Structure 1
Amino acid sequence: MINTGSDPSLLRRVNQSAVLRALYDAEELTLTELVKATAVARNTVENAVAGLVEQGWVEEVAPAADGPRQVGRPAKRYRFRSEAGCVLGLDIGVHKILAIVADLRGTVLATRRTAVGPDHSPAERIADARTLARRTLRSAALGVTDVRATGVATTGVVSASGTVTVSGRLPDWAGTDLVAAFMKPFGAPVVVGNDCSLAAVGEQWQGVARGHQDVIYIHVGHRIAAGILLDGRLRAGRNGAAGEIGVLRSSGWHTAPGRLLEHWDSAEGVFRAVHAGDHRAEQALADFTTDLAQGVAAMVLTVDPEQVVIGGGISLAGELLLAPLRNRLSDLCLFPVEVAASSLGDEAAALGGVRLALNTVEQELFRVPGVN
């Protein structure tokens, strides 16, 4: 129980926070339903609602014109205004930047992407990301002042303060402070994470990992890397490097993608060759799966997850990759583990950024100064 002492303004903020949380968690509520949900007196709820309406967070819902006619005055209904702001999710990679704008309930309003190259300087990459973000906001009929928080996913190891500390694929990217890069232009809090880690968050929120608490996300593309969720929470480690076993050359992850594509222009080319019965392609994919399974098994034996999600371009092989991977893991691991393909594709990391941005907004919405 919160002790508000004799401070009426603090008690008012506590009550408003309780009412706002109840409305945030529901579609619409009447005053009677709010009283029940918050265990607060009716007149107190009425005052809290009036304050939230004035602040622009809540509004009264007009009765449906085609709804059933009621005897007497209908109960007033209220809703949280998810359009009172928005969040921005960015995935800044080696070859692309993806931006997603969502309302304050997480409904996606606009998505845009642009191509970049490994030769882009950090300043150019950041400028392209800012430009894309503004264009995506405009696509949703929003502006910079509507942004309440930004979540940024990026390649490399990211510190708790939001600075890229190690970037094997973009060496010049190391040292980039992404919080500073996006906080001032968009005037809102910024949270930053490794792209694989945020892809794990995205898959748990909106994708194939929904309902699972212990998840390993494996990105399988030009590189192999991993993100980890335990007890439903992202685990980045002390330095933000959890899951980066691809740097161990002995694991096979370091060179596996290059060896798979040695005789083909793309992963799709390998898959077509396998479907056509090309024995060399079949062997290349089998060797790749063996290398992949060694690293995945090491992580499974360490973390003991409910599910392994395979994402990235090579995951498009589907059961050509997943079926032999499951078989290999059954030989290497103590217990069976579910293996599934990503359902979000290359939007997983940006959606993870949206989710972390929403977490930041929620913390601020329901924070009561002097209490939490």
Structure 2
Amino acid sequence: MTQGRAYLDHNATSPVRPEVAAAVARALALPGNPSSVHQEGRAARAALEAAREAVAQLAGTAPDRVVFTSGGTEAANAVLSGALRRAGLPAPSKLLIGATEHPCVSAGHRFAPDCVETIPVDASGRIDLGALGARLDTLRDAVVLVSVHAANNETGVVQPLSEIVALARGHGRALVHSDAVQAMGKIPVDFDGLGLDALTLSGHKFAAPKGVGALALAEGVGLEAPFLRGGGQERRLRGGTENLPGLAGMGAAAELAATRLASEAQRLGLLRDELEAGVLARAPDAVVFGRGAPRLPNTLSFAVPGLDAATALIALDLAGVAVSSGSACASGKVARSPVLAAMGVSPALSAGALRVSLGWNTVESDGPRFLDAFERVISSLYKRRGEAA
């Protein structure tokens, strides 16, 4: 990180921890292929399986349920390819997705357009359980795949996965996938306890290297065909030699996240709440998105009427503060956030949306630095308003 800067964009990517970098270096020194049977291969395999065990523990499942991928997008694409099966059921014929899903879900599936339906969310960004239940009731004869993320990448709003799974089980022929990319390492995720059929995650969101991720499949649930054809790696679902250094780093990051989950949630939650209070004190007309709903402890998403996000981002960056206007996947695009649109936020207000997301290397001085820079941006906006009046 650049000296003297405040990096507050952990939902885009969380910088690699020093301990994780050390684990990557150790794995780079291993000469063997994890699929080889000689001593060097066995050492590589041991490192790979240690990483799988750590990721499984963080996700709340058994290691043999975890399949490694190149990231959350590949994992979600594989699950939503139409190949997901529960024993005794045919392929899903309908896909129901939440209105605020990440593009890896909303644009990454392979269902025909007339087989996909969007379930609305309320003004806070939480899935409309009544609408989901009603739609499942009308699809009693169909096998349905429901995909709702665990937490939103822009607003941090946490979804009621237990209730969603309960509705699916009441249907009897519905499977549930959750994109847990933003939740993993920030709040507890219990794959087995929730009763999910599939879960996907990405390492770089919890301080692992970029380019590694995983999917988890419940007992009795699998993919009908490999999503990457080649060798027999990863339960014969993803061919190709595994990215051992990256996965070893993800294992180390998962272990660190698991041991510090509660303490970091408390620390970052307090810092986030101080930031939120500071924003509202300086801009009383600011709107905090998802404020009335459960949110990730590290995430603050807000907008000030009349404030242009692009202008604010440049000013904050010049002041040494890195934040985002929303999803990093939409960086550089001048477009209304589909997440905020689904929540009923006006185009004018969503044009000024800013996202502050904290992480492991956030320190107390980062908050005042952001607020000082934000105050200068707001003062300029309010001065222009006064001149216009």
Q: Name the TM-score, length of structure 1 as normaliser.
A: 0.31
Larger relative contact order (Cα-Cα within 8 Å, sequence gap ≥ 6): 2
Q: Name the TM-score, length of structure 2 as normaliser.
A: 0.30
Greater gyration radius = 1
Structure with higher strand content: 1
